[in-house]
A and B are shown apart, each in its own frame.
Chain A
Amino acid sequence: MKSMKLILMSLTLGSVFLFSGCGNGDGKGTGAIGSSGAAEKVYVAPGELDEYYQFFSGGFSGQVTVHGLPSGRLLKTIPVFATDGEKGYGFNEETKPMLMTTFGFVPWDDAHHPKLSQTNGEHDGNFLFINGNNTPRVARIDLTTFETTEIIQIPNTAGLHGSPYPTQNSEYLVAGTRFSVPIPQEDVSIDTYKENFKGTFTFISGGQEPGKMDIAFQILVPGYDYDLATSGKGPSHGWTFFTSYNVEQENTLKEKYASQYDKDYIAAVNWKKAEEYIAQGKFKEWPAEYYHNFYNDKTHTATATKKSGVKVLIPAECPGLVYYLPTPKSPHGVDVNPTGELIVGSGKLSADLTVHSFAKMLAAIEAESFDQEIDGIPVLNFEAIVAGTVASGGLGPLHTEFDGRGNAYTSFFISSEIVKWSTETFEVLDRIPSYYSIGHLSIPGGGSMKPWENGKYMISMNKITKDRYLPTGPELAHSAQLYDISGDKMELLLDFPTMGEPHYAQGILASKIIDRQVKFFPLEENEHTYKTLNEKDTRVERDGNEVHIYATMIRSHFAPDNIEGVKVGDKVYFHVTNLEQDWDVPHGLAIMGAQNAELLIMPGQTETLLWEPLTPGIFPFYCSDFCSALHQEMQGYVRVSPADSDVKLSWKLGDEGSGN
């Protein structure tokens, strides 16, 4: 009897899921409980590992999250553009320089496009790059440590959306200004937009060389809104494409005024030509100030370096550098297929996709099929370059990625679906809903020349979840959805919530990353200025009102753990070295009343917390990362005396110490 009820219940539930899966009216959608065994496909048994790393931008959290596929499990949050109390990022003395800009210390950003480094057009697993949209910056994450190790500020830019989109060998990362502004900046009336506002494309060198990111050159372009970018591959290697909207050059009520023209432009930039012009000295040296911040894994310390001056190329003086490809309806995403021949422009206010041919583009340039010229930039004839149009039947196309079997997958924000189409016939092959309002989609390797496993999984990143999860007050989870695309029909496998807005994501086969993991930092390679490599060297030193505590931590104690002689008004620097040399044994340092955060110190690493005690008394500190059976005992005391006190500086651990 009981089992009968269960069967009935599961049947009812099953049909509910099936119906919800058919929401878009095609009648063929499959729910999570389908005949194909979706649950089995995403089940990673306890103790087993996922097949893919998938790196999600944390959107307006400013961070990156790392998930495993196909399970969707969250593996790590990597702080990038925003401070993170958990890891002390941006709070400890070592990482504060990472967030320095010409605007000062900027502890937040809007992280948009995580892009993996490439070698020969394939994801090599060396680095992940991501752009900060608000205060223009591009960061490098080292995939041996999963830590942010470099951030470069992009000058002459306002709003950095179309970035970092590396070239085929990561020769350059690129950056297009989302908001045109006066360049160089000046105090003008906003109504002088058409006259004074300009845009830039920036090419950043040093993609494959840690510590060497730099502004190679910038290209000054008309004052449109430059949206997204992609770099060519194979035959189109040497070119980078940027979409634009607001060719109308309006500066108010843009949702209306910037949507008036039938076509905006995709800018095609020949960066190999740019290199020639730079070599010939045909650039202008423009004043510009920007920061380059680099975290060194030997000194465990970041340095912020202010740089000035950029090389700027003006298209009117550099023929053949930039061309405009007319593209209908305010194109948002621009994506090049794995063979490097097709340039897919997604007119976000349109139903159709415009696919340009790179070969036709070159031919049109050769034949000078130009409709007009804007500030020295030839506008190519639309008919001459278009390879085809995908009559999608959807609305609001945004982004396209590819499998390795000649298929493209385009996200449609307005109709909330993914459309699969053939890059040979431009015919629609399949469509499946997303829940809801998909932005980017991601096929692991699908933006490179070699989609992993020819395209097995696809992720959609959705802006709205409404009823998909347990409600959590006014702010609801953003989400990702996992699809199986290995067959003819796309199949929804899994929903999982993500951090912030999961703006974009890229995935890579786990085997490309696993073996390069740093497990701990060898103590003998520690070059931190304030390192302490054994307990015998632990000490406390006073220099005026600065107190430097050279401390160590090892299971399960700090050395020293009793400190006296600190006074109100002192700046107390805890320089703490984790002496552990084992994987997965970080220790934390938390001090009562510290106005910044904890330290979370990896084995072999040294970090520094600045503490400025305001009142006399006894202040406990403790290890915040559960490290051992005697973790609770891993603690100590600092005695803080009044400013005019004559308590001498002293320290101890057990019987060892200053002897004062």
Chain B
Amino acid sequence: MKYMPKIIFIIGAAALLGTFLAPIWRITLEAPQYPQGVTMYIWINKLDGAERGTLQNINILNHYVGMKMIEPESIPELKYFPKIIIGMAVMGVLFGFINNKKLWLTWGIALILLGMLGIYDFYLWEYDYGHNLAPDAPIKVPGMAYQPPLFGTKMLLNFNAISYPHYGSIFIGIAMIFSFLAFFLKKKQEAR
């Protein structure tokens, strides 16, 4: 199948747009008085919760320990991440039609680098929220920071914070895997 690698690459690049369909990360706070947990979803372009009011509820909990308000409109990443994703998807589809495996490999590596940068940025964001505490907070626990884990679970006072990628990340994974798969299939084809 001559066009297979090209098709795979284009599908992979287009799959990036799937990040607009589902959250890419999920952080759940568990405590006895929250039997269903308080779940925040991080999308490529927005933050929301399992229920209406979740963000406000998290902010209410956070303000006791002096954490900043989470205000989606003041988080710049939510504005430029969607542009990067759309840019990468458009570029990817173009590269697909150009049908050049080196471009594909470059695109795939760029996506991985961007992904790593994104996760590092997310870490910094979490660090800032967890450490940059108001000095006049009602509840001050010496030595305590409230940075949720990047990946995994962590007890933060009475809350067990659970953080894992969510469905939206699968689309980024598909984009990465498909770009390399397409590269190797094409390489194999050309070697014949």
Considering only residues 148-173 of chain B, those with a C-beta below 8 Å from chain A are none
Q: Across the interface, which residues of A come within 8 angstroms of B64, CB to CB?
A: 628-630
**Interface of chain A: mostly helix, strand, loop or mixed:** loop
Q: In the complex, are the beta carbons of A522 and B52 less than 8 A apart?
A: yes
Q: A520-B53, A522-B52, A582-B53 are known contacts. Are A554 and B138 too (CB-CB below 8 A)?
A: no
Question: In the bound complex, what is the Cα–Cα distance between A555 and B64 (angstroms)?
Answer: 9
Is residue A596 within 8 Å, beta carbon to beta carbon, of the partner chain?
Answer: no
Question: In the bound complex, what is the Cα–Cα distance between A581 and B57 (angstroms)?
Answer: 7
Q: In the complex, are the beta carbons of B53 and A581 less than 8 A apart?
A: yes
Interface size on A, residues (CB 8 A): 13
Question: In the bound complex, what is the Cα–Cα distance between A504 and B57 (angstroms)?
Answer: 41
**Interface of chain B: mostly helix, strand, loop or mixed:** loop
Is residue B98 within 8 Å, beta carbon to beta carbon, of the partner chain?
Answer: no
Q: In the complex, are the beta carbons of B139 and A554 less than 8 A apart?
A: no
Q: How many A-B residue pairs have CB under 8 A?
A: 23
Is residue B75 within 8 Å, beta carbon to beta carbon, of the partner chain?
Answer: no
Q: In the complex, are the beta carbons of A582 and B57 less than 8 A apart?
A: yes
Question: In the bound complex, what is the Cα–Cα distance between A379 and B52 (angstroms)?
Answer: 62
Q: Write the chain B residue with the least CB distance to A603.
A: B53
Question: In the bound complex, what is the Cα–Cα distance between A332 and B67 (angstroms)?
Answer: 66
Q: Across the interface, which residues of A come within 8 angstroms of B84, CB to CB?
A: none
Considering only residues 352-400 of chain A, those with a C-beta below 8 Å from chain B are none
Q: In the complex, are the beta carbons of B53 and A554 less than 8 A apart?
A: no
Question: In the bound complex, what is the Cα–Cα distance between A522 and B56 (angstroms)?
Answer: 13
Q: Across the interface, which residues of A come within 8 angstroms of B60, CB to CB?
A: 554-555, 580, 582
Question: In the bound complex, what is the Cα–Cα distance between A555 and B56 (angstroms)?
Answer: 11
Return the CB mask of A573-587 against B: 1 if under 8 Å, else 0: 000000111100000
Q: Across the interface, which residues of A come within 8 angstroms of B56, CB to CB?
A: 579-582
Cβ distance A508 to chain B, nearest Cβ, rounded Å: 25
Question: In the bound complex, what is the Cα–Cα distance between A240 and B92 (angstroms)?
Answer: 75
Question: In the bound complex, what is the Cα–Cα distance between A628 and B60 (angstroms)?
Answer: 10
Considering only residues 90-112 of chain B, those with a C-beta below 8 Å from chain A are none
Considering only residues 576-617 of chain A, those with a C-beta below 8 Å from chain B are 579-582, 603
Question: In the bound complex, what is the Cα–Cα distance between A580 and B53 (angstroms)?
Answer: 8
Return the CB mask of B57-70 against A: 1 if under 8 Å, else 0: 10010001000000
Range of interface residues on B (Cβ < 8 Å): under 10
Question: In the bound complex, what is the Cα–Cα distance between A522 and B53 (angstroms)?
Answer: 9
Cβ distance B141 to chain A, nearest Cβ, rounded Å: 13
Question: In the bound complex, what is the Cα–Cα distance between A389 and B53 (angstroms)?
Answer: 61
Cβ distance A500 to chain B, nearest Cβ, rounded Å: 32
Return the CB mask of B37-69 against A: 1 if under 8 Å, else 0: 000000000000000110011001000100000
Q: Write the chain B residue with the least CB distance to A520.
A: B53
Q: In the complex, are the beta carbons of B53 and A629 less than 8 A apart?
A: no
Q: Across the interface, which residues of B come within 8 angstroms of A603, CB to CB?
A: 53
Q: Write the chain A residue with the least CB distance to B139.
A: A629
Question: In the bound complex, what is the Cα–Cα distance between A630 and B137 (angstroms)?
Answer: 12
Q: A554-B60, A630-B64 are known contacts. Are A581 and B138 too (CB-CB below 8 A)?
A: no
Q: Across the interface, which residues of A come within 8 angstroms of B57, CB to CB?
A: 581-582
Q: Across the interface, which residues of B come within 8 angstroms of A522, CB to CB?
A: 52
Question: In the bound complex, what is the Cα–Cα distance between A628 and B61 (angstroms)?
Answer: 10
Q: Write the chain A residue with the least CB distance to B34.
A: A582
Q: In the complex, are the beta carbons of B138 and A630 less than 8 A apart?
A: yes
Question: In the bound complex, what is the Cα–Cα distance between A579 and B59 (angstroms)?
Answer: 13
Question: In the bound complex, what is the Cα–Cα distance between A579 and B56 (angstroms)?
Answer: 10
Question: In the bound complex, what is the Cα–Cα distance between A579 and B57 (angstroms)?
Answer: 11
Best-surrounded residue of A581, A628, A630, A633 (most CB of chain B within 10 A): A581
Question: In the bound complex, what is the Cα–Cα distance between A555 and B52 (angstroms)?
Answer: 17
Q: Across the interface, which residues of B come within 8 angstroms of A520, CB to CB?
A: 53
Q: Across the interface, which residues of A come within 8 angstroms of B52, CB to CB?
A: 522, 581
Return the CB mask of A528-540 against B: 1 if under 8 Å, else 0: 0000000000000
Cβ distance A45 to chain B, nearest Cβ, rounded Å: 16
Best-surrounded residue of A520, A582, A603, A630 (most CB of chain B within 10 A): A582
Q: Across the interface, which residues of B come within 8 angstroms of A628, CB to CB?
A: 64
Question: In the bound complex, what is the Cα–Cα distance between A6 and B96 (angstroms)?
Answer: 84
Question: In the bound complex, what is the Cα–Cα distance between A629 and B52 (angstroms)?
Answer: 23
Cβ distance A463 to chain B, nearest Cβ, rounded Å: 40
Q: Across the interface, which residues of B come within 8 angstroms of A579, CB to CB?
A: 56
Considering only residues 616-644 of chain A, those with a C-beta below 8 Å from chain B are 628-630, 633
Cβ distance A653 to chain B, nearest Cβ, rounded Å: 14
Return the CB mask of A402-438 against B: 1 if under 8 Å, else 0: 0000000000000000000000000000000000000
Cβ distance A519 to chain B, nearest Cβ, rounded Å: 8
Question: In the bound complex, what is the Cα–Cα distance between A579 and B139 (angstroms)?
Answer: 22
Question: In the bound complex, what is the Cα–Cα distance between A603 and B60 (angstroms)?
Answer: 14
Q: Across the interface, which residues of B come within 8 angstroms of A580, CB to CB?
A: 53, 56, 60
Best-surrounded residue of B60, B64, B139 (most CB of chain A within 10 A): B60
Q: Write the chain B residue with the least CB distance to A604.
A: B53
Cβ distance B167 to chain A, nearest Cβ, rounded Å: 25
Question: In the bound complex, what is the Cα–Cα distance between A374 and B139 (angstroms)?
Answer: 80
Question: In the bound complex, what is the Cα–Cα distance between A580 and B58 (angstroms)?
Answer: 11
Question: In the bound complex, what is the Cα–Cα distance between A522 and B138 (angstroms)?
Answer: 28
17 inter-chain pairs at a CB distance below 8 angstroms, sorted by A residue, are A520-B53, A522-B52, A554-B60, A555-B60, A579-B56, A580-B53, A580-B56, A580-B60, A581-B53, A581-B56, A581-B57, A582-B53, A582-B56, A582-B60, A628-B64, A629-B139, A630-B138
List 19 additional A-B contacts (Cβ < 8 Å) besides A582-B56, A630-B64, A633-B138. A520-B53, A522-B52, A554-B60, A555-B60, A579-B56, A580-B53, A580-B56, A580-B60, A581-B52, A581-B56, A581-B57, A582-B53, A582-B57, A582-B60, A603-B53, A628-B64, A629-B64, A629-B139, A630-B138
Rank and list the top 6 A-B pairs by shortest CB-CB distance, nearest first.
A581-B53, A582-B57, A555-B60, A581-B56, A582-B53, A630-B138
